[in-house]
Amino acid sequence: NDDEKMCDLFEGGWIPDLNGSLYTNWSCPMIPDWKDCPKLGRKDSDYMNWRWKPNKCELPRFDPKTFLSIVRGKKLAFIGDSVARNQMESLLCLLSQGETPRDIYKDPEDRFRTFYFPSHDFTLMIIVNGSATGAFDVHLDKIDSNWDEKLPGLDYAIISDAHWFFRKHYLHEGGKLIGCIYCDEPNIPELGVLFAIDKAFGTTLKHINDCEGCNKGLLTLLRTFSPAHFENGSWNGGGTCNRKCPYTKEQVNFASMEWELRGIQVKSLENIEKKKRKRFEILDITRAMMMRPDGHPGLIRGNQYLKEYSDCVHWCLPGPIDIWNDLLMAVLQKKDGTLQIGVEKKCNLFKGRWIPDLNGSLYTNWSCPTMPSSKNCRKHGRKDVDYVNWRWKPNECELPRFNPKTFLSVVRGKKLAFIGDSVARNQMESLLCLLSQGETPKDIYKDSEDRFRTFYFPSYNFTLMVYWVRFLVVAEEKGINGTTKTDVFDIHLDKIDINWAQRLRGLDYAVISDAHWFFRKNYLYEGGRQIGCIYCNEPNVPDLGVPFAVGKAFASVLEYINDCKECNKGLVTLLRTLSPAHFEHGSWNGGGTCNRTSLYTEEQVNLASTEMEVRNNQVKEFEKIKTRTKGKRFEILDITRAMMMRPDGHPDLHWDNQYMKGYSDCVHWCLPGPIDVWNDLLMAVLQKENGHSSS
């Protein structure tokens, strides 16, 4: 159907899933010891807390009853090497949560196993074979009878193979030696692994397609190559695999031999489908598994014959391999027309409305250990509480609630900085409160003026920073009549403030925002020459306005980041649009207040305001830089529209700034409060950046 055409189940990313596996190391009655990684000493468990998310749809979670209903009365066999067996063991563990199977056959070498599920008359087999066409002297045009003789009677055959080809072999066709793999002998051409696998799979698929004795409805699924993740050596040369988290897409080498091998397998299937007599499908797991160096047993395997070797080929149970059977179930459902994949529509997270949410905030004024006093509105006398009982609802999708563990999993090993004025700090303070419900951070750096702060989350090796700057671009306070403290600035719209720019190197995420300091009397410069002003009301000096100045400043900032040679290659810059103030009955220093206790409706918001014009100029500069990126990545946090509806979310008089007593704060936001949704949006955008759809 149309949904299936839109969704490729095999293109996507891994997203945190705190539901974990369907089974545990204790609930699966037939889990093999040397895949039972916790039993053998593995202490970390995060490798179990991820699920595969296709880019444009949802992959249904495995359900034992659903799977067994599909295969009722059928016979399914995994045919291949010990990694094929690994998948069968995963499937057994998953199915055992619905029904415990009978172990009805095992040959003396434990290569052929048969399990039976009596309630569904379903037979599950594994046929282990070094390579699909023989071993050592590999006859690329002859089928191994050990698995071939078991093909008749099967309803489903899942074929896979490759790992045994990665060693010294002699290759034969028509009974004659044609070359070798890794033999390094004179007069014998080195034909390589890829050549041999291409030939072997071509022979195998043709044989199945031509099989006269096979079931008419036989469905053959080709499972693509499962990558190994040896580092610092080969399997027998000291190689290890002790990583604790997945790779990002950027860390995966799509020019590797493993990816090329997968391409050969896919091509073999495409070739046979042009002349198919039987049914064929693919389980294209290579891309997903190239991102999972954290899922192997490593040094903790229980194989007594290979105690000092790391197993970086097979997969822990439970673990990432379980997703192969989620995909298997989806492919089988697709074949019988019952697959529900929930194709996603494109959703603008920033267009929506506020809806009541009596769950309130994830944290309270007392549960956040890093709560700043100036934003703790309840502490300073605010009595109403409704302002925390709303959540943002995009028009066409759901925005997931913030989850500290999910966020920390996404940013594991990364550095994120908020760069901007005190409202940028306000967002960082909100994020700290949200994350502190998962882990209390260490406060590791504060400069003498408390403008630059650094927090560290040791369990996730995540660093969170804030860099306070007024304008992002260079600005010099203007002396007037011998006075230097004037709060009037000469702003150089084409020069970057080095105070934050020099800290850009090493960051993985930079959330930039700025605007409030532009809303006062300032003089504007480009190329060292004055070009105009803001609110100066002077003859011969054009008042160019706040939107113009902010647009120019952000153009310079985005261009600088795009050109940054020393920055991380994968740097993601997020532009957070203007956060509106809500002064009524006067300006910030002219008696203005913001004591509303309810939201504005969409009709009450002035979309022709200066603030909206500033936001529009920020968005325009963001869209420009997206068209000419130089390896950097840019995203937007377009919060202006949502926050224009929230005049109820500011401290007003409920704050403790001793230097400005009597002034209302209608710029910053109470904690907890509406600002927390910025971090819901931040989490959603970061998940999308990592290939994980969040809506």
Q: Is the pLDDT of residue 398 over 90?
A: no
Catalytic residue IDs: 422, 665, 668
Of the pLDDT bands very low, low, confident and very high (cuts 50, 70, 90), residue 174 is very high
* Spatial distance between the Cα atoms of 646 and 669, rounded to a whole number of angstroms: 10
Question: What's the pLDDT score for residue 406?
Answer: 87
Contact between residue 375 and residue 678 where contact means Cβ atoms under 8 Å apart? no
pLDDT band for position 339 (50/70/90)?
A: low
Quote the pLDDT of residue 301: 52
CB 666 within 8 A of CB 594: yes
- What is the rounded average pLDDT of the residues 239-258? 89
Q: Does 466 map to a domain?
A: yes
Q: Please give the average per-residue pLDDT across 265-282, as a whole number.
A: 91
Residue 155 has pLDDT above 60, yes or no: yes
Tell me the sheet residues that pair with 445.
454
Q: What is the mean pLDDT of residues 56-82?
A: 93
Q: What is the mean pLDDT of the chain?
A: 90
- Looking at residue 344, what is its pLDDT? 54
Average pLDDT of span 525-541: 95
SS3 content of the chain, % helix, strand, coil (to 5): 30, 20, 50
Report the pLDDT value the prediction gives residue 131, as an integer from 0 to 100: 45
The pair of three-digit structure tokens given for residue 222, joined into one six-digit string = 């080709």
- Secondary structure (3-state) at 287: helix
As a whole number of angstroms, the distance between CA 431 and CA 655 comes to: 20
Q: What is the dihedral of CA 496, 497, 498, 502, to 10 degrees?
A: -80
3-state secondary structure 147-185: HHCCCCCCCEEEECCCHHHCCCEEEEECCEEEEEECCCC
Cα 469 from Cα 83, distance rounded (Å): 54
* pLDDT surpassing 80 at residue 544: yes
Choose one of 336, 365, 400: the last residue of a domain: 336
Judge if 317 and 408 occupy the same domain.
no
pLDDT in tens, 625-668: 999 888 789 999 999 999 999 999 999 988 876 666 778 899 99
Q: Does a structural domain hold residue 64?
A: yes
626's enclosing H/E stretch is: helix 610-626
Amino acid identity for residue 527 in this structure: G
Check if the beta carbon of residue 113 is closer than 8 Å to that of residue 123: no
Contact 35, 297 (CB under 8 A): yes
Query: Are residues 303 and 400 both part of a single domain?
Result: no
Residue 129, domain member (yes or no): yes
Per-residue pLDDT at 7: 81
The number of domains in the chain is 2
Rounded-to-integer distance, Cα 181 and Cα 195, Å:
9
Instruction: Identify the CA nearest to 318 among candidates 85, 573, 87.
Output: 87
What pLDDT, on the 0 to 100 scale, is given for residue 694? 42
**Domain assignment present for 453:** yes
662 in the same domain as 627 = yes
One domain, residues 328 and 417: no
pLDDT at 133: 46
Q: Structure tokens of 237?
A: 């040369």
Q: With 0-12 CB in 10 A as exposed, 13-18 as middle and 19+ as buried, what is 249? A: middle
Q: What angle do CA 348, 349, 353 make, to 5 degrees?
A: 105
Which pLDDT value is given to residue 134? 42
Would you say residue 565 has pLDDT above 50?
yes
Q: Which of 293, 310, 336 is a domain's end point?
A: 336
- The C-alpha atoms of residue 351 and residue 395 are separated, in whole angstroms, by 6
pTM value is 0.67
- Mean pLDDT over 514-531 rounds to 94
CA 36 from chain centre, in angstroms, equals 27
Cis ω for the linkage preceding 672 (within 30 of 0): yes
Q: In what order do the strands lie in the sheet with 156-159?
A: 102-106, 112-117, 122-128, 75-80, 156-159, 219-223, 279-283
Tell me if 398 is assigned to some domain.
yes
Give SS3 for 519: coil
What is the structure's pLDDT at 497?
96
Question: Are 470 and 544 part of one and the same domain?
Answer: yes
Do both 298 and 382 map to the same domain? no
Is 382 found in the same domain as 275?
no
The more confident residue out of 404 and 689 is 404
With respect to residue 341, please indicate whether it lies within any of the assigned structural domains: no
Note whether 316 and 423 are same-domain residues.
Answer: no
Q: What are phi and psi of 602, to 5 degrees?
A: -60, -35
Tell me the percentage of the chain whose pLDDT exceeds 90: 69
Q: Is the pLDDT of residue 414 over 90?
A: yes
CATH of the domain at 643: 3.40.50.1110
* Structure-block tokens of residue 373: 């006093």
Model pLDDT, residue 695:
44
Q: Which of 336, 367, 400 is the last residue of a domain?
A: 336
Can you give the pLDDT at residue 660?
Answer: 67
- Checking if the pLDDT of 391 tops 80, the result is yes
Residues 6+ apart with CB under 8 A from 52: 12, 13, 14, 59, 288, 323, 326, 327
Specify the length of the chain in residues: 695
* Segments forming the whole domain that contains residue 168: 2-336
* Residue 187 burial by Cβ neighbours in a 10 Å radius (0-12, 13-18, 19+): exposed
User: Which residues on neighbouring strands pair with residue 102, listed in sequence order?
Assistant: 116
- Helix, strand, or coil here: 418? strand
Task: Write down the pLDDT at residue 73.
Answer: 95
Q: Are 303 and 241 in contact (CB under 8 A)?
A: no
What is d(CA 50, CA 385) in angstroms, rounded to the nearest whole number? 36
- 67 and 201 assigned to the same domain: yes
Residue 201 banded pLDDT, cuts 50, 70, 90: very high
Same domain, residue pair 320 and 396: no
> Other C-beta atoms within 10 Å of 525: how many?
19
Strand 112-117 vs strand 122-128: parallel, antiparallel, or unpaired?
antiparallel
Do 605 and 656 fall into the same domain? yes
User: Are 363 and 278 members of one domain?
Assistant: no
* The one-letter amino acid at 682: L
C-alpha 695/C-alpha 689 separation (Å) is 13
Q: pLDDT tens-digit profile of 127-153? A: 987 544 444 899 999 999 889 999 999
User: pLDDT per residue over 457-507, tens digit each?
Assistant: 999 999 999 999 999 999 999 877 767 677 899 999 999 999 999 999 999
**Within a domain: residue 35?**
yes
Q: Do the domain assignments include residue 200? A: yes
pLDDT at 614 > cutoff 80 = yes
